[in-house]
Amino acid sequence: MHKLDNDLWTYSVLAFLPHATEEDTFLDQQKILLTTQTSNLNDANVLLANYVVPELVGNYERFVSIYDTSTDEGLIQEQVKNLAALNIPVTIFEEERGSWKRVD
């Protein structure tokens, strides 16, 4: 998480993304909060995670999970299956030549 925090602060002046981490103050007022905790500290509508936590997904309007090419395809399929079992709609996108393409 510290690497992501640092990257968001220093990546580009033009692409700066204001955010806080769980180590900061006024967590309930943060629009973007980086945390390893499972509680919704800032009453967020969107959960962005690199893994599916089925019992948490239903607490958000939208859940976004990002995988890279090194992620085991079986793990991704299992997590999609878990979401489907909870009646949570799944839309999959893949990066293709620098843009995102919806996978049907």
**What ranges do the domains of the chain cover?**
1-42, 45-104
pLDDT value at position 43? Answer: 92
For 25, 65, 74, 89, the CA distances from 86, given in Å and listed in that order, are: 34, 16, 19, 9
Q: The whole model's pTM is what?
A: 0.68
Q: What is the distance between the alpha carbons of residues 104 and 23, in angstroms, rounded to a whole number?
A: 40
pLDDT value at position 29? Answer: 93
Q: What is the distance between the alpha carbons of residues 77 and 98, in angstroms, rounded to a whole number?
A: 24
pLDDT value at position 103? Answer: 82
Q: What is the mean pLDDT of the chain?
A: 84
